């Protein structure tokens, strides 16, 4: 097995990449004469992932579940979140509706906002999900660790980046 195929196999074994997911992430394919089709495609994916896709690009469905989870994101307490499956009047309006946010902000911008919304507004009400820096009076359950891991934030950002249409 060559290096790239080995890497691909490892990623697959770890469940880090599945074919459906990689297909979305694949950059223009390189041809590799003589290699078996599937291996070539996987190798391309691995190359594309390491070169082009941010390490956190992951699972939008898991992101949506995290946003809904009251112990995790609980985002709809402040935002209207299209697709979250809650009635509109049960969702908050302290923050802007997230309809169309994927057209307004890039994946990296979404990731940064969710990690620490203070980068956009030092006085924001939005909790910094990915850092504990500068926080005081933190609930003991969350003390010393962020609410969401970078991977979880990647999943949430992936869901939001798919929200490219404004609400009617
Ligand atoms: C306590 C209320 C609150 C919670 C909870 C909250 N937000 Fe926010 N969010 C805000 C406010 C207020 C803004 C408006 C900008 C600002 O003040 O930072 C905002 C802005 C945003 C923006 C930028 C929107 C735009 O159009 O520019 C994104 C993206 C976002 N929030 C995502 C999330 C996600 C994802 C979660 C859950 C993981 C979340 N927010 C939880 C209050 C909240």
Which own/partner contact pairs does 118-127 have at CB distance under 8 Å and 24+ positions apart?
125/78, 125/94, 125/95, 126/78, 126/95
DSSP 8-state secondary structure symbol assigned to residue 117: G
pTM of the model: 0.72
User: Which is the closest atom of ligand 1 to the Cα of 75?
Assistant: 37
Q: What pLDDT does 140 receive?
A: 83
Which residue from 78, 80, 160 has its CB within 8 A of the most atoms of ligand 1, so it is best to mutate? 78
Q: Which domains, ranges and CATH numbers included, belong to the chain? A: 3-51 (no CATH), 60-161 (1.10.760.10)
159 lines ligand 1 (CB under 6 A): no
Q: Is the torsion defined by CA of 46, 47, 53, 54 positive or negative? A: positive
CB of 135 within 8 A of CB of 143? no
Distances (CA, A) of 156 to 63, 84, 111, 152: 4, 12, 8, 6
Q: What pLDDT does 54 receive?
A: 54
List the residue whose alpha carbon is closest to atom 16 of ligand 1. Answer: 124
List the residue whose alpha carbon is closest to atom 39 of ligand 1. Answer: 75
How do the pLDDT tens digits run along the chain, 168 residues long? 454 444 444 444 444 444 444 333 333 344 444 444 444 444 444 444 444 455 555 899 999 999 999 999 999 999 999 999 999 999 999 999 999 999 999 999 999 999 999 999 999 999 999 999 888 888 887 788 899 999 999 999 999 999 998 876
């Amino acid at each position: 097995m060559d290096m790239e195929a080995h890497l691909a196999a490892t990623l697959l074994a770890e469940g880090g990449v599945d074919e459906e997911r990689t297909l979305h992430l694949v950059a223009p394919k390189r041809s590799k004469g003589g290699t078996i089709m599937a291996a070539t495609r996987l190798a391309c994916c691995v190359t594309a992932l390491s070169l082009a896709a941010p390490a956190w690009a992951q699972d939008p469905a898991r992101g949506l579940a995290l946003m809904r989870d009251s112990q995790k994101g609980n985002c709809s307490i402040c935002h209207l979140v299209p697709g979250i499956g809650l009635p509109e009047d049960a969702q908050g309006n302290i923050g802007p509706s997230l309809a169309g946010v994927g057209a307004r902000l890039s994946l990296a911008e979404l990731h940064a906002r969710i990690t620490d919304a203070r980068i956009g507004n030092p006085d924001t009400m939005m909790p910094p999900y990915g850092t504990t820096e500068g926080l005081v009076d933190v609930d003991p359950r969350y003390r010393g660790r962020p609410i969401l891991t970078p991977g979880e934030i990647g999943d949430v950002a992936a869901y939001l980046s798919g929200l490219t249409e404004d609400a009617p």
